[in-house]
Amino acid sequence: MATFSNLEQATYNLSLSKREVALIAGWERARRKYLTTEDVRRAVGDSVAPTITSSLARKGVLERIGRGVYLVRPFRSLLRPTSSSAPMVLAALLHAEPYYLGGLWALTQHGLTSQQYASSLDAFVARPRRARSLAGAKVVFHLVGPSSLEYGVSETRIEDVTVRLSDSPRTLLDLLDHPKLAGGLGRAVALFVAGSRQVEASKLVEYAARGSRPATCQRLGVLLERAHAPRSMLSMLTNRLEGPRPLTSLVPGPRRGHVNRRWNIVENDRGLDPTAAP
């Protein structure tokens, strides 16, 4: 909570009305980090909500991040520049729809890599959105079916806001399903191998059998087979792959190497060093 002197200073500098000061104080007491236009309507009524919203946005108290969604700046930040983290801002933007954050950022969050990925975010959503910059980070939206947002998702708190993100197994599996997240399939496989020692193989199989592409199931089968996963566990993947399976390479490049007939995969990655994955 800001001191009274700070409140007076902010009120003077920004010409906040008593009503606006009371609103901001109430939002701060409630630890509100973002608001919607509907929140403002409920607080002040339909007739004056647009005017007050516009006034507070002009004075820098509210920061528009999307249609009808605003970040709330607390009193203490009105006197000096502050910034919010990109994951928190993105969670505020997407709060009213199914989504999760994944990709390399989630890899870092779960400690599946020693690299710190923070300059870009990947958000999985059920309706199209354009890529944009948000709080200093590049945000890419990936359109997936609604059922893909119903499993392998966990929650964490960032700056008092609930953020939905892929759990550890889903984060790794998404690398194989969406290799562009990692910059290509070869790097995706290397990152997967490096991080897979820390997750339950059974969850990888469960999630893949539930919604991954056939090619992902084939690659996952080979990688888990190498890790000595029980054949009974891998049967869930073979059941998912009933019918003809096209011959697929494990990583991009010449199809030279052992052909794993169970998964119909050319194991052409023997020169891949998983510890070199960035």
The string of pLDDT tens digits covering residues 139-168 is 999 999 999 999 999 999 999 999 999 999
Whole-number pLDDT of residue 11: 46
C-beta of residue 221 within 8 angstroms of C-beta of residue 176: no
How far apart (Å, rounded) are the C-alpha atoms in residues 133 and 41?
28
pLDDT > 70? residue 239? yes
How confident is residue 242, by pLDDT bands cut at 50, 70 and 90? confident
Residue-wise pLDDT tens digits, 46-84: 999 999 999 999 988 999 999 999 999 877 666 566 678
137-143 and 132-134: which strand pairing? Answer: antiparallel
**Between the CA of residue 156 and those of 109, 162, 205, 212, what are the distances in Å?**
10, 6, 24, 25
Question: Does the structure show a pLDDT above 50 at 247?
Answer: yes
Mean predicted confidence (pLDDT) in 170-182: 97
User: Which range among 2-11, 186-195, 234-243 has the greatest average pLDDT?
Assistant: 186-195
Q: Are strands 137-143 and 120-125 parallel, antiparallel or unpaired?
A: parallel
3-state helix, strand, coil in the chain (%, to 5): 45, 20, 35
Distance CA 144, CA 100 (A): 11
Answer left, alpha or beta for residue 12, where phi above 0 means left and psi between -120 and 50 means alpha.
alpha
Q: What are the pLDDT digits (tens) for 108-134? A: 999 999 999 989 999 999 999 999 999
Residue 8: pLDDT band with limits 50, 70, 90: very low
In whole angstroms, what separates CA 188 from the centre of its chain? 17
The pTM assigned to this predicted structure is 0.87
Higher pLDDT, 164 or 239: 164
Report the alpha-carbon distance of residue 237 to residue 227 in Å, rounded. Answer: 15
At residue 5, the pLDDT reads 44
Mean pLDDT throughout 225-232?
93
Mean of pLDDT over the chain: 89
Work out the average pLDDT over 174-195: 96
Burial (CB count <10 Å: 0-12, 13-18, 19+), residue 246: exposed
